[in-house]
Structures are given as structure tokens and as C-alpha cells.
Amino acid sequence: MTYRCAVLPSGSGVMFTVKMEPGGGVERLKQHIRSNLALYPNLNKDAQLNLYHVDISTPTLSAFNPTNATKLHDNGLLPPPSRTRGRISVVVEFYKPIIWYHVDLPGHNPTKLRDFDGHDVDDLRNAIQNAQSRSFACAYDQLVLHVAAPESNVKTVLEGVEFNKYGSFDAIIQRYQIGEFNPIVVTLPDIQRQIEDLRRQIERLKQSSPQPVLQQRVTTPLKTTSVSIISERETRDSMDPALKSELDGHLHSGIATLVNTLFPELPNSTAIFKQCKKAKLYDHGEWPNLTNEAEFANLANSITSFVYGNNNNLSFCAHGGIRLDGVKANRKPDVVALHSDPTTFPAHWKSVYAVFELKSNVEADTHETLIQLASYVREIFGAQDIRESVIGIILCGNSMRVWQFDRAGGIGSTSINPNQHPKTFIRIIAGLSTMCTNRVGFNTAISPNRAIKIGRNTFQLGNILFHHSVVCGRGTTVYKAHTVRNPSQLFAVKISWRHHLRDCEGSMLKRVTETLGKNSRVVRHHNHEDRKTTNDIRHNLHSDDYRIQTILVMKTVGKPITKFSGKRELITVLIDALDGLRQLYEDCQIIHRDVSIYNIIIDGNNRGMLIDLDYATHTNIQQLNAANAPRTGTLPFIAIQVLQGAIHTYSHDIESLYYVFLWICCYYGKDRDVTPPHNFDTWMKGSYKDIAATKVGMMNEVCFDTHILAAFHPYFDNLKGLARELRGILFPLGIPVENASYSAVKTALEKARDVLV
């Protein structure tokens, strides 16, 4: 049997002949047709096929009407093909099913879900949730889907067992004939509670005054970094993916001039090489056992002793398998170069000048090995507040690469064979000691006695108030300081590396201070200036994406919000932070965009102050440059819609402040013997979409009690009522409100504070 087939639309020009044995079914014919369609890459072969039996000539295909043709059903038999030469037997129509669905809740009319291209029931739930994102006060995985049988009240639940039975959503479509006739019925959890909550929140929204709608602006895409992880929850499982994301696009290898730039020729390299050969350190054309940690450390120490004798201030130690002191994550570098007493064991990250990763196999020179090296570099940056760059070396078999890391990422050399280029190897090892002596990689503007000149004043740096462990990023460090002339007047000195496309925080803070005056709930500006760039550190070897070192001096000094003395002070500080957000928005036309436990402090008067305007943006301009600059956030405090890619608004800052309150109530109780909860770990893992879905689910009224309030430290039990009230204001339907009411949030906080002792 021979069938001549034509594919709609007629303009596609696709025609072919299918030969089959007599007695075959329609499904068999479809299989033959799909095999022929594989020859046409422009056709969507994943779409559904409708087959119609016709008997028309080729020129009239454009007039084909499915309503007047005979549709071939999958379980039917084939009709006889057309016998007239040149006439079409089967017309092939591509289609995607239009899925009707309606929600088992008053006020929801049947809705079409067009062009659904998911693969399973979970995808369908997600697509319906997105289509009705402002109607469902529940997470997408709480939706229960049913298929309603035609013209009956029988409903079949589409759950895992049903999905497993039919194998794929395409099979479910065919099984239930989903199209324009069979709807999907969506059942919400606890319908009566949803209705009551809806009525209650509508009344509350009617009583609250609407907030002004922001002009549309360009927003900055978020990027996960190792800073995004709260330090108290830091583990290798959480840090390594974040570090990989942080360095994505900021690692550049194959720079041939890097080694010569960092390590100039040694004047006596030939004599040193002869000494190495005489001591059998280099023998028969190779450095024996070069990838053995202990042997490598001994070799490096011997080379530096040949060069510098007793004047060497750098020692190499094998530390593989032993954790260095000073970090939370379990990091065990193979070999470290120390600028301290080598007899102190285990060494501290504060003493590490350079780090080495050794692998016996040349094939191990992979991106994963580089990320492992970068994780050690991150610990060096975290332990040494004045570090500006770090040298790391990867040795895999007979292939060695030198990496220089700074706040813009890392640049790497071409591969070097140390056995074939022994003098280059000697130059690199000896050069590290020279760099350490000259304080290369350190902020030399800070003197050994911790003084730094900024403008016309010299500041004596005191305790570190804040320090970020990060490779590629701002690398912020804040010091308590005073001028040398007047030790009684305290300042906060902030040293950070801003992206070159981003506006200077100091300039913005200066305008805020001038606008708000003494009543400001934002830290007050004193002075600021830009210093060097990462291009200066890299000797301009790679200049496409660089950062600028900025020093900002502030008149306000304080302690973190997590150091509150009691619950009343905590709520007062939150109210002050809320006032600061309002001042920025209403008086300065600025949105903060990075509210977290790190960016609220308690000043000397026990009042709250906002800090850190690095990611702040004006509401009345489109900051095109800033839109291209990377922006991170501290994951647990990022607003749901921002995680989903929405433009950051004033409401999102208030939502972030709410997360600060919840986080403190879970992790900063007075009784430290209570085991910290893990409920919020899911706010730091996975994609932004996953984190947003988790937050939406937890903000549902029922889940809020079981997942969030249940995690409250007992010390904060009497603030659970406040948490519920704020949830009702910010998530009246289980999803974030469009315009959060500043006055409603402040009233709730003040009412809770006034009853506290």
C-alpha cells in the first residue's frame, strides 16, 4: 500500500511517499511519517501529528479544510490509498494542544494554556502557576491536577503514579484526548482557608494607602557569589557551587607574558641551576617526584636557600591532608608558601603567601582543579584583610600554570613544562620570595603600623568591623579608625573594589548625607577617594573587565544588628532601618537593593542605621552602565520577585528587611545551646527559580507556621505574632504585594516594640 503524504502548511513544500504492508494501523503510518520528517530539520518533530484522509490533487492543497476531511484516529485502521496518480492520500498537520484548565475556586473562569511544551505533570503545574501567578496563594507543587472525562463528573488525578503509568505527557495527552474539549481541573490546598484569607486581606488592602509606582528602569541581573552564602552556614557543599558561579567569565588563561611579567630573570640563574644539578635536585633532565607534596616543598626550600641563603623570608610546607587553621570550610591545600615561622603546625591562613595544587596526571589540568585552587585563594583573601592579589600554582604531571588572582578574577599563564624549562621553574619559586619581601600582593598604602593617609588626614586603623571573604567581587573591609591628631573622634574606613561600570558609592552617600542632614538613618559621609585598579595589579595584561579600589570614610561607627542587646532594641533598629529605606526612596529617590543582616548597624546611641550603597540605584534615571555591571545579593534576603528577574522596587527592600527579622529570630537567640535550624538552608541552594519557589511556598499561611515559625529560637516566641502580622501585610495572598505599605509595616513593628520590656 502506497500513501502520498503532504505536510501543512502548504507553503512548506514537503511531500513524500510512504509504503506499508496491508492491514497496518494509523499509529504505524505515523511512525513511517515521522521517519520521513527526520529529513526536514525545519519542522518541529516534537509536536503532535493529526492525519486526515483525503483524495485531492496537489494544486488544491491550499484549499484543504480539516472540517471536511476524515481524521484518522490512532487506534483505527488505515483507509485504502488514493488510486489516481498525483493525488494526495494523507494530509499531515502539526499542532500543539491547547489545554483548557479551570480552578476549583469561585471567581476563576476556564482558561486556555497555549503552546504548553513541558514534559511531565510537574511542568504543567508550574506552567499553570505562572499563568495565574497572582491568583494562587500557594506554591506550584501544591496544585493538584485532575483530568475531567468528557461530559461527566469523573476526574482522574494526574499524580506520579499516573505519570509513571503513561510514561510522558505526550502519552497522557493521547490517553485522555486533551485538546479543546477535556479540561484540566486545578484543586488548591485548603480551599476554605484560601477564601477566608483572601477576604481578610482584601479588606486590609483597602484600608492601606497605595505607594507610588516606580518608573521602569533597567535592572541589574543577579549573580551568585561566595559572598551570597551566610558565613555561619558556610560549608564546602554550599561554597563550591557559589565560588564557581562567582568566577564564571572571570578566569582567563593562556597569557604567555604573565610569567615574565611577574618573575623577571634572575641574574645568577645559571649558577643556581648548577647547584641544583650538583645536589641531584635536577637529575637526568627532570625534577624527580615533582608532584609529591613533601618532595616539592623540600625542592622549593632548597632553591630559595641557594638564592637567598639565610635572608629568605618564605618557607614552603606540605600540608596535604591537614586542615589549616582559620576557616570554617574544610580546606586542605597540598603545598603552601608561608611568610611566618614554618615550625608552627598546622599553619594559619593568615601566614599563607602562595598556594599550590599538585596532581600526578597531566590530564587533571581541568576547570575543577582550578576552582579547587581558587577555593584556597578565597581563604587567603578572607584571612588577610590587606591582601590585594594572590599567586596560585597548579602542577599536573609535567604541566605547570601560574595563576594571579585579584578582585576581578584570575589570569593564568600558558602551560610550562618545568623539566624542559628548569631555569623558568627556578625563577618562579625564587621569585615568590622576592615578591613577598617587596610586599607584592598587599595593600602598601596601609603601613606596617596600620596607618593610612586619606585626603589630608592620616587615620590609624583599629579593629576590623566587617570583612568579606571573596575572590571576584568587592572584597569589602571596614575598620574602626581615628585620626592620628584626634584619637577621640571615631570613624569607619571602608576599603572595597567596585566594578568599573558602577557609580562610586562615596559620591552617592555624600549626596544622601547632604540631603538628609542630622536626622538621617543612613550612615554619614566624611570623605572618599579612588585609588588603584585591578589593571594596575595585572600590569594591564588583561583589561576588559576591571575593578577600582575605593576608600570611603564615614562619620558613623556601629556594631552589626546581630549584636542587639535585647528584643526591644532589635525592633527599634528594624524600625530605624525601615525609616532609612523610606528616606532614601522619598527624599533621595534611591533604592537600596542589598538589605541584609550585614548592611544594618547599631550606632553609639543604640539606633539603627543603613550602610552600604554599593548596589543602590536612583529611581529617576536609567543606569545603563550599572545594568551591565554584576550585582550580587545575600541569598536569604533577596526578594522573591527579584529572584525571578523582576525590576527591583522599594517594596522589595521592605521584603528583604522582613527576611532579616525572620533570620535573626531563627539564628540569633540568647541560648546558643539550641541547635540552629536548617529550614532556611534551601534559601541558599539551587537556582534563583528554585529559591523563589521555596520562599513562595513558605510564605503560604499554613507552611509559614510549620516551616518558619517552628524554626524560631525560643527566645523569640513572643515575636511570632509580629511575624504573622507582617506576613499578612507583605504576602496577603501568599505572594508578595505589588506596593508594600511602609506605614502598615512600621505600625506593626511599633505596636510589637511598645509591649516589650
pLDDT at 212: 36
Model pLDDT, residue 34: 81
Q: What is the pLDDT of residue 745?
A: 97
DSSP 500-566: TTSPPHHHHHHHHHHHHGGG-SBPPEEEEEEEEEHHHHTTTS--SS-EEEEEEEES--EEEGGG-SS
Model pLDDT, residue 225: 56
Q: Which CATH number is correct for 250-437, 2.40.10, 3.10.450, 3.90.1570, 3.40.50?
A: 3.90.1570
Q: What is the pLDDT of residue 644?
A: 87
List CB contacts of 237: < 8 A, sequence separation 6 or more. Answer: none
| Mean pLDDT per 10-residue interval, the chain, length 757 residues | 78 76 80 80 67 74 70 78 74 72 67 68 75 61 68 55 51 57 65 52 49 40 54 59 88 94 90 95 94 95 91 84 65 86 72 95 94 95 95 97 96 96 96 90 94 96 92 95 96 95 92 95 96 90 86 96 95 98 96 95 96 89 48 81 89 96 90 58 81 87 86 93 96 87 96 92
CB 125 within 8 Å of CB 41: no
Topology of domain 451-754, per CATH? Answer: Transferase(Phosphotransferase); domain 1 (1.10.510)
C-alpha to C-alpha distance for 593 and 627, rounded to whole angstroms? 13
Quick one: pLDDT at residue 625? Answer: 45
CATH of 99-189, one of 3.10.20.90, 3.10.20.30, 3.40.718.10, 3.40.50.300: 3.10.20.90
Residue 31 identity (one-letter amino acid): Q
The 3-state secondary structure of 627-654, one letter per residue: HHCCECCCHHHCCHHHHCCCCCCHHHHH
Kindly list the strands in the beta sheet with 390-396, ordered across the sheet, starting from the edge strand earlier in the chain.
251-255, 409-413, 399-406, 390-396, 352-359, 335-338, 315-318
Domain boundaries 2-95, CATH class? alpha beta
Looking up cell 509536536, which residue turns up?
47
Tell me the C-alpha distance between 312 and 353, whole Å.
14
Confidence at residue 161, expressed as pLDDT on a 0 to 100 scale: 44
Q: Is the peptide bond preceding residue 288 cis, with omega within 30 degrees of 0?
A: no
pLDDT of residue 261: 94
At position 123, the amino acid (one-letter code) is: D
Q: CA 706, CA 726: separation in Å to the nearest integer?
A: 17
Given this model, what pLDDT does residue 218 score? Answer: 43
Could you tell me how far CA 154 lies from the centroid of its own chain?
A: 45
Domain 451-754 in the same topology as domain 99-189? no
Q: Report the predicted TM-score, pTM, of the whole model to 2 decimal places.
A: 0.69
- Do β-strands 409-413 and 251-255 pair in parallel, antiparallel, or remain unpaired? parallel
Domain parsing of the chain, residue ranges: 2-95, 99-189, 250-437, 451-754
Whole-number pLDDT of residue 498: 93
- DSSP H or E stretch at residue 567: helix 567-582
